[in-house]
Structure 1
Amino acid sequence: MIIDSIAYPIEIEFPDIIPYKVCNTGVDWITTLDSGVAGPHVMISALVHGNEPCGAVALDWLFKQEVRPVRGKLSLAFMNVAAYNAFDRENPTASRYLDQDFNRVWQSESLDDPEVTRELERAREVRPIVETVDLLLDIHSMQHKNPPLMLAGIQPKGRALARQVADPEWVVCDAGHAEGQRLRDYGGFSASNSKKTALLLETGQHWEAASAPRAIANAIRFLRTTECVSVDFGEDFLVKQPQPVPQRTIEIIAPVTVQSEQFRFAEEFHGMEIIERKGTVIAMDGDTAVKTPHDNCVLIMPNRRLQLGKTAVRLGKLVD
């Protein structure tokens, strides 16, 4: 069952990334720049989903600025390029992935399994590099027009890094999806006993014009926060962008996973709706009512492509 009733205009020009295919890492589409000075390995990744171009815009901008780390290493990674190359303006949601969601395969059970899909093959190819990364910013966008979100995971270290980046306004703390683990949750990124940390940025609607500069601005702020670049890197760009506002945090209380072919929302939610009363029915999953677990429940990223086993929506609680 797939419901995809809203057609958003494509306002972003998809960059030509062919110049970035042949790299210095031995893995196509991932370039690593080494400062020669001790420091963390920082990565910015894009195109985990093939129809989300804003991350590619940000990496293209960084390459054209000839970004160089002043300490540690910096990797710029285009992930599911095959899906990106399959993008069709007449069916723009179809190239999110080719065989399976690239952002649900990041658990050892999948990566070490003999199963072969195009997404798994690519994940296995980039895995050795990802495992050396200390600090990750994974750039995404959303199905609906919503305020940008920073997904920080459930560990305090993720929330702390999001606070240091200080943009966007909304920080979401969640454990991910029942369907499978995200790149930002892989390995040490989500482990309490590791200093590795990752953030997942949702810039806004996939193709709205504002998503592109948001991605660039956040990439700049992330690189500055990690001290990977000079303190004034990208200043000419940032002064022309909206300035950060005080952040607010949402903790995800319950992800809702589609259990039947008859899942239907009670109304057309776009995301960030606040449902005032506990027990409000927001959807029916077959004969089972999906109800809000508490007062003032925030709906995070309701899914327009409702499929068995996938996340329909995440239910959150404002904590500050």
Structure 2
Amino acid sequence: MLIQKFLKNKYKNISGITVIDSGKPGKNIGILAITHGNETVGLKIFKYLEEDITIKKKLQQGKIFLITMNPLAYKKQTRFIDDNMNRISNQIFNPQSYEYKRLEELKPILNELDIVLDIHSFSNSYDLVAICDKNNIQTTKAIFSLETILVDDLKKSGSIIGYCKRNNTEGYGIECGHHNDPNGLEKGKQQIINFLSYYNAIHINSYNSTNNIEHQNIYQFKEKIQPLTDNFTFTKPFVGFTSLEENEIFAKDQDKEYRNTLGKNIYLGIPAKNPKATDGAGFLFEKLE
């Protein structure tokens, strides 16, 4: 199966890296998949890029690095083995954790990149969402033809793109709808083409891509929702981005009540399907636009 080769291919003796080289000077662009092992949409997009860019020789300049971040979690069909890889890049190294060791192995490769795009998908939403640093909102609006953009101070975050930002690499993320949504996959492919075109790796007119979104909703990360135990439950089904009233109780965990204490214009977004104490349950956002 073609997808398996992305787990086996090596670059500088590190497995899980496929390099597409134009043979011409240009930027090193990293596209990351399976940071969470159960989010396989990135591997499917890798297959699309391998066939469409390498075989049809569409790459105009530079190199594209297709990086499988968490191959063991993918093989085990789980989100992560020991730790959420997208939360640990600003933490003290833990030699007992597979994700810490894998990220440490990949850091020299990530350090070679000029631009990074990390591909994800949702367990509980069909939304397509772009993620960027607070200083890159206008660029993100120009790249991605998506209705929703999430903004964070990435240099402070434990995400993979947070690590890249701290190393002066441009970093973006994209959520391609639900894990198994074919529509999310197709739209995700188009967004990756938009991304590569913006950075002049390919010519956009070959792909008939347009950014025709009339309004883009901009949300800023404010607070992570962290369960205390595996008994955490939301007070009602939350899907997409849901407005919260001031002091509204939105979740409970044993005797603890989770309230919106951040004031007005606050939204609950990216709710986990099965929240666990070892991972987040979602986030609270402030709507900027």
Q: Which TM bucket (shorter chain)?
A: 0.7 to 0.9
Give unmatched runs, 5+ long, in structure 2. none
Contact 2:127-2:240 within 8 A present in 1 as well:
no
What's the CA shift string for 1:142-164, capped at 9, x where partnerless? 011232111113x313x233112
Structure 1 match to 2:274 = 305
| Partner amino acid, structure 1, of 2:252 | M
> Per the alignment, in what secondary structure is the counterpart of residue 77 of structure 1?
strand
Structure 2 match to 1:172 = 150
Match of residue 252, structure 2, among 284, 301, 305:
284
Contact 2:34-2:42 within 8 A present in 1 as well:
yes
Contact 1:303-1:312 within 8 A present in 2 as well:
yes
Q: Distance in 2 between matches of 1:233 and 1:117?
A: 44
Q: Distance in 2 between matches of 1:148 and 1:270?
A: 13
User: Higher relative CO (CA 8 A, sep ≥ 6), structure 1 or 2?
Assistant: 1
Contact 2:53-2:59 within 8 A present in 1 as well:
no
RMSD over aligned Cα, in angstroms? 2.5
What's the CA shift string for 1:152-196, capped at 9, x where partnerless? 13x313x233112132210011247x9x71111114x157xx3x2
Q: Does 1:148 align with 2:128?
A: yes
Q: Distance in 1 between matches of 2:166 and 2:142?
A: 18
| Partner amino acid, structure 1, of 2:96 | V
Match of residue 45, structure 1, among 32, 41, 46:
32
Structure 1 match to 2:103 = 123
Alpha carbons of 1:129 and 1:255: their partners in 2 closer, same or farther (altered >3 Å)? same
1 or 2, which has the higher strand percentage?
Answer: 2
Q: Does 1:99 align with 2:96?
A: no
Structure 2 match to 1:264 = 233
Q: Does 1:162 align with 2:140?
A: yes
Contact 1:57-1:216 within 8 A present in 2 as well:
no
Q: Distance in 2 between matches of 1:118 and 1:212?
A: 28
Q: Distance in 1 between matches of 2:224 and 2:5?
A: 39
Residues 1-320 of structure 1 mapped to structure 2, 5 A cutoff: 16-20=2-6, 21-67=8-54, 69-87=59-77, 95-107=78-90, 109-110=92-93, 113=94, 115-153=95-133, 155-157=134-136, 159-175=137-153, 181-187=158-164, 189-190=165-166, 194=168, 196-235=169-208, 238=209, 244-260=213-229, 262-275=231-244, 277-292=245-260, 293-308=262-277, 310-320=279-289
| Partner amino acid, structure 1, of 2:202 | V
CA shift, 1:245, in A, is 4.3
Contact 2:144-2:195 within 8 A present in 1 as well:
no
TM-score normalised according to structure 1 size: 0.79
Contact 1:25-1:31 within 8 A present in 2 as well:
no
Q: Distance in 1 between matches of 2:221 and 2:230?
A: 25
Q: Distance in 2 between matches of 1:174 and 1:287?
A: 31
Contact 1:250-1:319 within 8 A present in 2 as well:
yes
CA shift, 1:17, in A, is 1.5
Alpha carbons of 1:232 and 1:206: their partners in 2 closer, same or farther (altered >3 Å)? same
Alpha carbons of 1:64 and 1:261: their partners in 2 closer, same or farther (altered >3 Å)? closer
Q: Distance in 2 between matches of 1:279 and 1:33?
A: 51
Alpha carbons of 1:82 and 1:319: their partners in 2 closer, same or farther (altered >3 Å)? same
Contact 1:31-1:76 within 8 A present in 2 as well:
yes
Alpha carbons of 1:245 and 1:190: their partners in 2 closer, same or farther (altered >3 Å)? farther
% identical aligned pairs: 21
Q: Distance in 1 between matches of 2:214 and 2:113?
A: 29
Structure 2 match to 1:12 = none
What's the CA shift string for 1:63-91, capped at 9, x where partnerless? 0113453223221112212222223xxxx
TM-score normalised according to structure 2 size: 0.87
Give unmatched runs, 5+ long, in structure 1. 1-14, 88-94
Q: Distance in 1 between matches of 2:259 and 2:113?
A: 39
CA shift, 1:309, in A, is 5.4
CA shift, 1:291, in A, is 1.6
Contact 1:167-1:245 within 8 A present in 2 as well:
no
- Number of aligned residue pairs: 283
My pick for the range that moved more, 59-68 or 260-269, is 260-269
